[in-house]
């Protein structure tokens, strides 16, 4: 895939970039390795000062970088501005909290004495150079939610971003440099996917994090496993959105529309499978389908647009194939299931609701990355749980209920990294984020995320008069 900005609203190639050659890639790895040896000795106050400055600059740059993101991958520009603001918020959160999150842990006095020590502490040390392989769908947020904690922990970062968002990738490197981070602390590698393996196998690279597809995750995990290097993977999702009889149907249906089409439906944590109890199925479906029909599809730079184009022509073709397979096997389209006729150019797809889904259809098992919702009718709570878990993925989930017994059962039985009751899935710097099953492993954000790329070191001092 060429490294280029291709406007998904028009299909026009706006700018192309040459991939880094082996010599320049080597120079950047060496620069990162040297930077780590110096940067790891800085204190939390200095790191926080730098990260806070990056947040201030990002706030100033927000409107401009939002337009860049929209032009590169098609999200509505209002959502792009919100993404930039969210990134600045996460930077400030880690600047404020990293010191306490990575403070030495002191065992209880009785445990210290029982270990034969005079003093014991658990100390967190940075791993080193961390390679990030990141996707295009949230081209700022996916990077910042890794980079902010990694930099605050004392690591340095190499970014291999998706090939269709090169200008956003280069902006991030420039942002951290302008904020005052030493050269080499954050660098963008404009390289193709075929060059990732050599970077990851380099002994100066300590670990990797990837957000993306399951095949990409398998590849990175296999290479890192062969090299015995730490990885964190956030892969696909086919999140259930369960609606039970006690739910507020009006709110559940309205939120469901947003939950499905956020980021033009191209989000791992977007609700995709809508599982509705038969007692409220008809009422929910009527409201939800009406809401999907009413969405404004259009130019993502237009403030009134709800749903812009898909990011790539291939992505739209993949989505169309899933829908066509379902329809050919008996599914019914309540709306959409077509390219909007009013757009002669660009990779648009109409918001779509499918019902009559069975396990013979690909869309039952595969992630639909676009504004396509699938509907399921559940006879009772047990069937709702069974349908929700009938997926190879387990990223997040949504449940609408006001029944505490429902809550207890879903918390106990849902196979997902997050369960959001009476609202849609969202990420926040204070809350751990990640999945189970084929949605990956490890966690981002919160204290769990910042510790993923730290050495957990036991520091033990012998009691006086003893030999260890």
Catalytic residue numbers? 234, 268
Using CA atoms of 82, 87, 90, 94 in order, give the dihedral in degrees to the nearest 10: -170
Q: Are 245 and 277 in contact (CB under 8 A)?
A: yes
Cα(324)–Cα(305) distance, rounded to whole angstroms?
Answer: 26
User: Distance (Å, rounded) from C-alpha 212 to C-alpha 269?
Assistant: 12
Name the CA dihedral angle for 307, 5, 339, 368, rounded to a multiple of 10 degrees.
Answer: -70
Give the contacts of 275 (CB within 8 A, at least 6 positions apart).
Answer: 240, 241, 242, 243, 376, 378, 384, 387, 388
Q: Which two tokens stand for residue 225?
A: 């496993």
The answer to whether 177 and 16 have CB atoms below 8 angstroms apart is no
Burial (0-12, 13-18, 19+ Cβ within 10 Å), 357: buried
Query: Cβ distance 211 to 266 under 8 Å?
Result: no
* Rounded distance between C-alpha atoms, residue 79 and residue 306, angstroms: 9
Q: Count the helices and strands in the chain (H runs, E runs).
A: 15, 19
Residue owning tokens 């602390």: 185
Question: Per the structure block, which two tokens stand in for 291?
Answer: 């809401």
Question: 3-state DSSP call for residue 159?
Answer: strand
3-state secondary structure labels for all residues of 363-388:
HHHCCCCCCEEEEEEECCHHHHHHHH
> Distance (Å, rounded) from C-alpha 224 to C-alpha 410?
35
DSSP for 201-260, written as a single string: HSTTEEEEEEES-HHHHHHHHHHHHHHT-EEEEE----EEEEE-TTS-HHHHHHHHHHHH
- Residue 301, SS3 per DSSP: coil
| Number of CB atoms found within 10 A of residue 46's CB | 12
């Amino acid at each position: 895939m060429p490294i280029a900005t291709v406007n998904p609203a028009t299909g026009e190639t706006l700018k192309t970039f040459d991939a880094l050659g082996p010599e320049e890639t080597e120079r950047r790895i060496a620069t990162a390795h040297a930077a780590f040896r110096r940067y790891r000795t800085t204190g939390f106050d200095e790191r926080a000062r730098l990260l806070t400055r990056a947040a201030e600059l990002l706030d100033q740059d927000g409107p401009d970088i939002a337009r860049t993101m929209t032009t590169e991958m098609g999200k509505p520009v209002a959502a792009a501005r919100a993404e930039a603001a969210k990134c600045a918020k996460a930077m400030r959160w880690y600047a404020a909290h990293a010191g306490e999150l990575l403070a030495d842990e002191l065992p209880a006095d009785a445990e210290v004495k029982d270990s034969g020590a005079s003093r014991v502490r658990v100390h967190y040390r940075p791993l080193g150079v961390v390679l990030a392989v990141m996707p295009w769908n949230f081209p700022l947020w996916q990077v910042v939610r890794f980079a902010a904690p990694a930099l605050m922990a004392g690591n340095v970062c190499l970014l291999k971003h998706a090939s269709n968002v090169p200008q956003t990738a280069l902006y991030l490197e420039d942002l951290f440099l302008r904020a005052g981070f030493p050269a080499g602390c954050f660098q963008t590698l404009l390289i193709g996917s075929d060059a990732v393996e050599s970077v990851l196998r380099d002994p100066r690279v300590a670990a990797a994090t990837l957000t993306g597809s399951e095949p990409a995750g398998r590849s990175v995990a296999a290479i890192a496993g062969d090299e015995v290097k730490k990885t964190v993977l956030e892969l696909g999702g086919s999140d259930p959105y369960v609606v039970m009889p006690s739910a507020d149907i009006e709110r559940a249906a309205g939120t469901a529309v947003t939950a499905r089409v956020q980021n033009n439906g191209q989000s791992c944590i977007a609700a995709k499978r809508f599982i509705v109890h038969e007692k409220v199925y008809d009422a929910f479906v009527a409201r939800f389908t009406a809401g999907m029909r009413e969405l404004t599809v259009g130019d993502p730079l237009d403030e009134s647009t709800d749903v812009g184009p898909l990011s790539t022509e291939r992505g739209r073709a993949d989505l169309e194939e899933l829908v066509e397979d379902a329809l050919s096997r008996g599914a019914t389209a309540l709306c959409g299931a077509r390219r909007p006729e009013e757009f002669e150019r660009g990779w648009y797809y109409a918001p779509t609701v499918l019902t009559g889904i069975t396990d013979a259809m690909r869309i039952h098992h595969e992630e639909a990355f676009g504004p396509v919702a699938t509907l399921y009718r559940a006879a009772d709570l047990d069937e709702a749980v069974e349908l929700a878990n009938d997926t190879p993925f387990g990223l997040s989930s949504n449940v609408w209920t006001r029944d505490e017994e429902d809550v207890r059962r879903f918390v106990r039985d849902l196979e997902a990294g997050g369960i959001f009751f009476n609202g849609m899935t969202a990420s926040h710097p204070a809350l751990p984020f990640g999945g189970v099953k084929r949605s990956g492993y490890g966690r981002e954000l919160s204290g769990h995320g910042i510790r993923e790329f730290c050495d957990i070191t036991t520091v033990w001092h012998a009691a006086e008069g003893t030999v260890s």
